[in-house]
């Protein structure tokens, strides 16, 4: 275990993230090459769980390493590569997991099997491990469907970053066109299908960014204040965009070679953009936000830089020194900082005794009881916590049930729902907890 002190222009830490600049930071290696980490680019966790997904970049395909009970004595890992990853996860640069049981990836490549210059774009997948890289697996057998992907949209080649917004909507860093887009998959097609007809793309043509080849430009969304934090890697800066701003300036036409009948493709202009950081970074890559702080990784120097973003431009709070090759970074529900290092093929969590844990975070998952599983006529939800919203989401990401929970128990009439695997999501103002449930 490596011990490093965070020393910088730090004075007095009141924000929990600032506490990493005091005391001793222990860099705990949670995953390595033995867990299938090949060329890790990014990472994310399923909301309200200790399950982490690490995204591997591969030249002709792509893959993930999944860590269950991460950083616990019961930790286990699985390496997964979908049979059609050479099309839907090739040269993967970034991952974002939503709160409905789905996740999306983007890819640093222009096209795979199309002459269209704007062919590639984000792909949608399920975090259900009975689906991902398990269903519809074949060697491109024409009699079977296209692997386990749930959906794919085009128009954004060389995509370098992605952030979840809501439901099946995601923000994408388009490195080919050099701007930011919002993609909404709406209702995904069947597992392995290919119907994109309901997809919507909103392109913010005057929010300009620049791709840095080989180094992703990750993004993070502050959903409470509607700020999208963006690593603009090619310009060595950090910006943020107000996602509720901007005006519809008219329709756009997809490249005809992409053969994509979108429901909407709109040109958005006039969004509010603020420049936060313009110096002091050599090769920015990863980013995450929590409580008026962003953490940014520098791929070249190995530094993790903490900034106060309560106003613009941002104020640098301090730096934590790790190793060169650091890529994506995430702050978990418990104020833990996790990152991946491409050069060392590692998943790492920073542990510091001075950092306060969040009592409203994962520790409260034990207060949720869901039974019986499998369910038939009824599904009971018991929750010893604050008011919540309870949803049941099917494997395609559709919300099949939603209700408010103000008491300690909620009984769902599951007999009206189709049989199958669902994700039960309990969401409060502070957190989201997800549970897999089977309805027969």
Higher per-residue confidence, 13 vs 210: 210
Per-residue tokens: 160:
């370098």
pLDDT at residue 279, rounded to an integer: 97
Lowest-pLDDT choice from 141-150, 342-351, 382-391 = 382-391
pLDDT at 47: 80
Strands annotated E in 299-359: 303-308, 315-321, 326-331, 337-341, 346-351
* Count, residues in the chain: 440
pLDDT higher than threshold 80 for residue 396:
no
For residue 195, the model assigns a pLDDT of 85
Q: What is the pLDDT of residues 164-209, one digit of tens each?
A: 999 999 999 999 999 999 999 999 989 999 887 899 999 999 999 9
When computed from its CA atoms, the radius of gyration of the chain, rounded to whole angstroms, is: 21
Count the alpha carbons within 13 Å of 431 in the hemisphere toward its beta carbon. 23
Does 7 score more than 50 pLDDT? Answer: no
**Percent over 70 (pLDDT), the chain:** 93
- Mean pLDDT of the chain, nearest integer: 91
pLDDT higher than 80, residue 430? no
Q: Are 159 and 94 in contact (CB under 8 A)?
A: yes
Cα distance between residue 220 and residue 96, in whole Å: 9
What does the pLDDT read at residue 35?
98
| CATH class of the domain defined by 2-351 | mainly beta
| pLDDT tens, position by position, 222-253 | 998 999 999 999 999 999 999 999 999 999 99
Six-digit token string for 356 = 């306060």
Instruction: Output the pLDDT for position 172.
Output: 98
pLDDT at 429 over 70: no
pLDDT grade for 366, boundaries at 50, 70 and 90: low
- Identify the band that residue 11 occupies on the pLDDT scale cut at 50, 70 and 90: very low
Rounded mean pLDDT, 126-147: 93
pLDDT of residue 333: 79
Condensed to tens digits (0 to 9), the pLDDT of residues 17-40 reads: 999 999 999 999 999 999 999 999
* Architecture of the 362-439 domain: Sandwich (2.60)
Plot region of 233 (φ>0 → left; ψ -120 to 50 → alpha; else → beta): alpha
Domains 2-351 and 362-439 share a fold: no
CA 50/CA 67 separation, integer angstroms: 8
Whole-angstrom distance, CA of residue 180 vs CA of residue 143: 37
How far apart CA 290 and CA 285 sit, in angstroms, is: 17
Note whether 83 and 147 are within 8 A (CB). yes
Q: How far apart are CA 92 and CA 203, in angstroms?
A: 21
Q: Are 216 and 108 in contact (CB under 8 A)?
A: yes
Cis peptide preceding 10, ω within 30 of 0: no
Provide the strand spans (E) within 136-283. Answer: 151-152, 159-166, 169-174, 179-184, 200-208, 219-222, 227-232, 237-242, 247-251, 264-269, 273-277
More confident residue, 249 or 255: 249
The pLDDT assigned to 356 comes to 86
Higher pLDDT, 294 or 426: 294
- Judged by average pLDDT, the poorest of 27-41, 105-119, 211-225 is 105-119
Quick one: average pLDDT of 404-422? 90
Residues 395-416: what's their mean pLDDT?
A: 86
Does residue 409 register a pLDDT over 60?
Answer: yes
Instruction: Let me know the angle formed at the C-alpha of 386 by 384 and 392, rounded to the nearest 5 degrees.
Output: 80
Tens digit of each residue's pLDDT (9 = 90 or more) over 65-79? 999 999 999 999 999
Task: Give the domain ranges of the chain.
Answer: 2-351, 362-439
Q: Give the per-residue pLDDT at 10.
A: 36
**How confident is the model at residue 389, as a pLDDT?**
87
Report the share of the chain in percent with pLDDT over 90: 72
Whole-number pLDDT of residue 9: 37
- Among candidates 143, 151, 164, 252, which has minimal Cα distance to 193? 151
| pLDDT tier, 63 (very low <50, low <70, confident <90, very high otherwise) | very high
**Inter-residue contact 75 to 29 (CB < 8 Å):** no
18's CB contacts (< 8 A; 6+ apart) are 10, 293, 306, 317, 318
CB 209 within 8 A of CB 158: no
């Amino acid at each position: 275990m490596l011990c490093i002190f965070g020393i910088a222009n730090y004075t007095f830490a009141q924000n929990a993230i600032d506490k990493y600049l005091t005391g001793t930071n222990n860099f705990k290696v949670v995953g390595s090459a033995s867990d299938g980490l090949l060329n890790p680019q990014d990472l994310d966790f399923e909301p309200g769980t200790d399950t982490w997904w690490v995204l591997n970049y591969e030249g002709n395909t792509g893959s993930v390493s999944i860590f269950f009970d991460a950083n616990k004595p019961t930790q286990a890992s699985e390496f997964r590569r979908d049979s059609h990853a050479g099309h839907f996860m090739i040269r993967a640069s970034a991952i974002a997991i939503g709160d409905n049981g789905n996740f999306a990836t983007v890819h640093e490549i222009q096209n795979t099997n199309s002459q269209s210059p704007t062919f590639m774009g984000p792909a949608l997948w399920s975090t259900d491990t009975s689906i991902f890289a398990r269903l519809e697996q074949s060697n491109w057998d024409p009699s079977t469907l296209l692997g386990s992907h749930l959906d794919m949209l085009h128009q954004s080649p060389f995509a370098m970053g992605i952030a979840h917004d809501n439901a099946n909507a995601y923000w994408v860093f388009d490195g080919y066109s050099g701007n930011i887009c919002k993609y909404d998959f709406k209702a995904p097609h069947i597992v392995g299908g290919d119907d994109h007809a309901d997809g919507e793309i909103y392109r913010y043509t005057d929010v300009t960014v620049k791709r840095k080849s080989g180094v992703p430009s990750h993004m993070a969304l502050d959903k409470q204040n509607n700020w999208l934090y963006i690593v603009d890697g090619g310009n060595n800066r950090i910006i943020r965009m107000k996602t509720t701003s901007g005006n519809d300036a008219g329709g756009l036409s997809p490249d005809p070679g992409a053969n994509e009948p979108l429901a909407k493709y709109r040109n958005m202009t006039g969004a509010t953009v603020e420049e936060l950081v313009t110096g002091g970074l050599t090769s920015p890559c990863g980013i995450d936000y929590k409580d008026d702080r962003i953490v940014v990784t520098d791929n070249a120097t190995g530094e993790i830089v903490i900034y106060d973003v309560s106003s613009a431009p941002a104020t640098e709070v301090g730096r934590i020194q790790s190793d060169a090759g650091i890529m994506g970074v995430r702050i978990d529900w418990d104020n833990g900082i996790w990152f991946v290092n491409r050069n060392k093929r590692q998943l790492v969590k920073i542990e510091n005794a001075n950092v306060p844990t969040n009592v409203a975070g994962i520790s409260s998952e034990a207060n949720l009881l869901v039974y019986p599983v499998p369910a038939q006529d009824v599904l009971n939800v018991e929750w010893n916590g604050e008011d919540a919203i309870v949803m049941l989401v099917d494997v395609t990401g559709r919300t099949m049930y939603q209700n408010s929970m103000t008491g300690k128990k909620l009984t769902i009439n599951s007999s009206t729902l189709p049989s199958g695997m669902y994700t039960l999501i309990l969401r409060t103002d502070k957190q989201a907890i997800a549970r897999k449930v089977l309805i027969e």
